[in-house]
Amino acid sequence: MAQRKVCVKVPASTANLGPGFDVLGMALNLYAWIEMSTAEQTKIELVGDQLTGIPTDKTNLIYTVAQQVFDKAGVSIPELHIAMYSEIPLTRGLGSSASAIVGALLAANALVDHALDKQTLFEMATAIETHPDNVGASLYGGIVVTHWDGERAQVLRIEPPKQLEVLVAVPDFQLSTEKAREVLPHLFSMQETVNNIGYSSLLVAALAGGHLQMIRHAMKDGLHQPFRSGLIPGMTKILREATEHGALGVALSGAGPTLLALVDRASHQKQQLEQFLLDTLRSEGVNAALHWLEPDLQGAHELTGYDQNSTLFANIQHEVRK
C-alpha cells in the first residue's frame, strides 16, 4: 500500500431531469475536492462555508465510507487525515451527499492501489446512497441512465449535446431528501406510469440524439414534481411557463429545492429566463442564487501533479469557482 496523500475532484449532479425519477442524472461543473492520507491519529478538516455543521470525528461520512473500501480490500487503515473543500450547496438537490460518497470511495481506493474496480465502487456508492442517479453522474460524468434492483447497479453514459447549458436557481432554504420523499404517494395508476415511461424514454432519445427541440415535450413528470411543488413556492409556475422564456425544459433538481433549466447555448433569451426565475421566486418571498453551469464530462477523478507538501486549498485554489 502506497503511503501517500491523494486528492480527488468530484462533480455535483442533478437527478431525475423531470421524468427519470431515481434513474436519470447529469454531472455539473460545481465540484468537491477530497484529500486523504494515512495518519497516526484521525483528523478531519472541512474548508469553506458549504460544509458547516458536518461532523469532524469518525462519524463523518467520508471516513465511514473510506472504511468500507478498506474492509472490502482486506486492509486496515483506522486512522486517516481527511480534508475537504466543496462548492456544492448542502441539501439543495445538487448531489452534495453523492459527491462526498463518490469522493470518499475514489480516494480510499487510491490509497489501497486501486484494489476495487469502478463497477464495484459504483455499486457500493449506490447501496450507500440508496439510488444510483446522483452517484452515477458524479462517478462517470455526462448524462447517465441507471438502474438498481437492490443488488446490482447498472449505468450507461450519454455524452451531453455540445450546445446544452444549464441554469440553476438555488433557493436560500434547504430541503432534505427525506422530507421531499415523504410527500410522494406509494401507488400510481397504469396510465400515470406509462406517461412517465414515455416522457423519460423520449428525453433520453432527445439528449442522446441532440434533438433539443424535443426536450420541452419530454421533460415532464407526473410521479414526483406535482407532489413536491407545494414544498417550493413558485415551482408550479416555473415548470409551466419557463419554456416561454427561453428554457428548453425545466425540472426540479433532485429532491429540490433547486430548479434547473436546460438552455440552448445560442439562445437569445438567457437574460429573460434569468429574470423570470428570479421574479417568480421573489413574488413568493423566496430569494435565490442563479448559476450558469455546464455538464461535467470527466466525472470524478484523482488529481495528478498534486503537491504533497501543500494544503488542500493551496493545491486547488486556481480551480475554485470565484
* Average confidence (pLDDT) per 10 residues, the chain, 322 residues: 79 97 97 95 86 88 97 96 93 94 98 96 96 97 96 95 97 87 90 95 97 96 93 95 97 94 97 98 95 97 84 81 70
Angle value at C-alpha 57, between 54 and 60, nearest 5 degrees: 50
- Write the single-letter amino acid at 160: P
What is the C-alpha to C-alpha distance for residues 251 and 142, in angstroms, rounded to an integer?
17
Q: Which domains does the chain have, with CATH numbers?
A: 6-159+296-316 (3.30.230.10), 164-293 (3.30.70.890)
DSSP 188-211: --HHHHHHHHHHHHHHHHHHHHT-
Longest dimension (CA), the chain: 60
Closest CA to 62 of 102, 120, 110, 29: 102
Residues with Cβ within 8 Å of 199's Cβ and at least 6 positions away in sequence, in order, are 18, 19, 218, 219, 220, 221
Residues with Cβ within 8 Å of 209's Cβ and at least 6 positions away in sequence, in order, are none
Looking at residue 3, its pLDDT comes to 55
Looking at residue 308, its pLDDT comes to 80
In the structure grid, which three cell numbers stand for residue 186, read together? 406509494
Q: Taking a C-beta distance cutoff of 8 angstroms, is the pair 24, 197 a contact?
A: no
Integer-rounded Cα radius of gyration of the chain: 20
pLDDT tens readout for residues 108-157: 999 999 999 999 999 999 999 999 999 999 999 999 999 999 889 999 99
- Beta strands 288-293; 43-47: pairing state: unpaired
Q: What is the reported pTM?
A: 0.94
Angle value at C-alpha 298, between 94 and 108, nearest 5 degrees: 80
Coil, strand or helix at 274: helix
